Structure formats: structure tokens, C-alpha cells
């Protein structure tokens, strides 16, 4: 069995397994005729084989990348050789935003499976943004949203125990997949336990044990990379108290 889909086995596929150009424009919040402007930037596409780098720390920023097919992880390697995973990206999401500050990539991006991306030449994007206020506005929003996401992650690492972190992680994947039309309750993990652990600030053994705990509570069934969420509500309750209090 082979997967062209992502985080989702073929027979479960309920939506497109890849992203069209106009879908790639979605993060930029563009509609109608403006898409055609952005279209001009999203002309190329290329494949990245599993475990190969899309870019590496220190590479100059040429393009941002929109994931079309597959999935990626971004990580930073410390002097003493430890990996810190800073994020996982799936189709329709952007890679490389952190490089804008220095115009040099500050992390590595590796394909977790055979994948395909569309490069978006950054200098051209900025030029186009200068002409299209709504594009500029949305670029600001995209960058800001990334900051919000990171703050949520800080909250996860600062306030949650291992079981809650794993639950929050699974719910996050579930939500992002359902946004793209996939099943929110049944999907495949493309990363190893060790990578999940790095992302969540835990050791891989702790991830295994937390999986076992969630299983014992009857909330999920996870065998290998295959995830089945039995009780979405229960998972949500587990992390509810740790979430951002929304006012206004």
C-alpha cells in the first residue's frame, strides 16, 4: 500500500490529497482576481524525497515554501548535538517564515515522507505585496499567526504534564487535518516518537507511556503510526483547563 495522502491512508481519504495553486493561496487570504497575481509567483513545484532537507540552517533565504503534498518537520540542532523540533508542517502550510529576519534560514526543514512543495520567491513576494495592500496585510497576519502558535506552544510546555501535552498535540493535528477535509479521528503520524518527544519537550519513552495512558483511559487507540481517536470530547476536556482563557 502506498500513500499519496498525508497523515491519512488512501482508503480513508475524504478530500484532495494535494493542494492546487489556488488552495496554496488560501493562507494569503486572497480571493478573486488577486489570486492570479499570486499565481505568477507560484509557478514551480518540486519534489523532496523522504528524509532529505528542503533547506538547512545557514542557507540563504531565497524562497518561502508552500507544502503541496506530504509533510515536513523543522528543527534546530544544538552544539551538543541535541535536536529540537520546532514544528510540523502539512499541506497548505508555509515553511521558512523565520528566515525573513536574517535572510538566512535559522532551522532545517526535512521531508517526513516523499513530498512536493511550491517555492515562493521571497523578493518577488515582497515586491508584489508592495503593489497589493491586501497581500501585504495578509503576509503580516501569517507572520503574526505564527507568533500566536508559538505562544500556545510555550503554554503547552510551561503548564502541561506529559499526558496533556500529547493530548494537545493529537488534537492540534486532528484540527488541522479536519480543516483540510480529512477525518479528524483517524490519521497516520508521519513522525517518529522521538520527534514528537522533542517537539513536546519529552523523551521518546515518555511519549510511549503517555500513549499507553490515553489508551487505558479509552480516549484513543494508537498502534504504531496509526491513530484512532475514540473520544474527541474527552481529549478536549483533558487539556481544557490548560487552554487560553478567551475574554471579550
Partner DNA sequence: CGTGTGTTTGATGAATTTCAAAGCAGGTGG
Partner DNA sequence: CCACCTGCTTTGAAATTCATCAAACACACG
Phi, psi of 221 (to 5 degrees): -130, 115
Residue in 211, 219, 238, 239 binding DNA, rule: CB under 7 A: 211
Q: Is 43 in the site for a copy of itself (CB under 8 A)?
A: no
Q: How many residues bind DNA (CB under 7 A)?
A: 21
Residue in 14, 84, 144, 161 binding DNA, rule: CB under 7 A: 161
Lookup result for grid cell 532537507:
53
Nearer of residues 17 and 57 to a copy of itself, judged by Cβ? 57
Stretch touching a copy of itself by CB under 8 A, among 31-39, 172-180, 183-191, 235-243:
235-243
Contact 75, 84 (CB under 8 A): yes
Contacted by 99, from a copy of itself, DNA, none: CB < 5 to 8 Å by type: a copy of itself
Closest to 120 (Cα-Cα) out of 151, 146, 94: 94
Lookup result for grid cell 510540523:
88
Give min distance, CB of 51 to DNA, in A.
Answer: 8
126: which 3 cell numbers? 515582497
Lookup result for grid cell 471579550:
248
C-alpha torsion angle, residues 169, 171, 176, 177 (rounded to 10): 110
Distance CA 165, CA 201 (A): 9
Residue in 16, 26, 97, 208 binding a copy of itself, rule: CB under 8 A: 97
Distance CA 63, CA 61 (A): 6
Stretch touching a copy of itself by CB under 8 A, among 113-121, 186-194, 217-225, 240-248:
240-248
State the burial class of residue 218 (Cβ atoms within 10 Å of its Cβ: 0-12, 13-18, 19+). exposed
Contacted by 188, from DNA, a copy of itself, none: CB < 5 to 8 Å by type: none
Give the interface with a copy of itself as residue ranges (CB under 8 A). Answer: 56-59, 76-80, 82, 84, 86, 97-102, 104, 106-107, 126, 129-130, 133, 136-137, 139-148, 150-151, 153-155, 157-159, 198-199, 201, 240-248
Give the interface with DNA as residue ranges (CB under 7 A). Answer: 161-163, 192-194, 201-209, 211-212, 222-225
Amino acid at each position: 500500500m502506498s500513500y499519496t495522502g498525508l497523515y491519512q491512508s488512501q482508503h480513508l481519504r475524504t478530500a484532495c490529497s494535494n493542494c492546487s495553486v489556488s488552495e496554496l493561496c488560501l493562507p494569503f487570504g486572497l480571493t478573486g482576481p488577486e489570486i492570479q497575481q499570486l499565481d505568477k509567483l507560484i509557478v514551480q513545484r518540486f519534489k523532496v524525497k523522504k528524509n532529505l532537507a528542503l533547506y538547512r540552517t545557514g542557507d540563504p533565504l531565497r524562497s518561502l515554501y508552500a507544502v503541496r503534498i506530504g509533510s515536513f518537520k523543522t528543527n534546530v540542532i544544538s552544539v551538543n548535538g541535541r535536536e529540537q523540533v520546532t514544528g510540523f508542517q502539512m499541506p497548505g502550510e508555509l515553511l521558512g517564515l523565520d528566515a525573513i529576519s536574517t535572510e538566512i534560514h535559522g532551522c532545517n526543514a526535512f521531508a517526513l515522507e516523499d513530498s512536493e512543495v511550491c517555492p515562493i520567491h521571497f523578493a518577488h513576494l515582497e515586491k508584489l505585496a508592495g503593489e497589493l495592500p491586501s497581500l501585504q496585510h495578509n503576509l503580516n497576519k501569517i507572520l503574526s499567526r505564527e507568533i500566536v502558535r508559538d505562544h500556545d506552544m510555550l503554554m503547552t510546555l510551561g503548564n502541561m504534564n506529559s499526558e496533556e501535552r500529547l493530548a494537545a498535540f493529537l488534537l492540534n493535528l486532528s484540527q488541522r487535518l479536519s480543516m483540510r477535509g480529512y477525518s479528524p479521528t483517524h490519521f497516520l503520524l508521519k513522525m517518529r516518537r522521538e520527534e514528537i518527544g522533542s517537539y513536546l519537550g519529552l523523551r521518546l519513552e515518555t511519549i510511549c507511556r503517555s500513549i499507553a495512558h490515553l489508551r487505558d483511559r479509552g480516549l484513543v487507540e494508537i498502534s504504531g503510526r496509526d491513530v484512532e481517536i475514540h473520544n474527541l470530547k474527552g481529549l478536549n476536556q483533558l487539556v481544557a483547563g490548560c487552554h487560553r482563557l478567551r475574554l471579550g
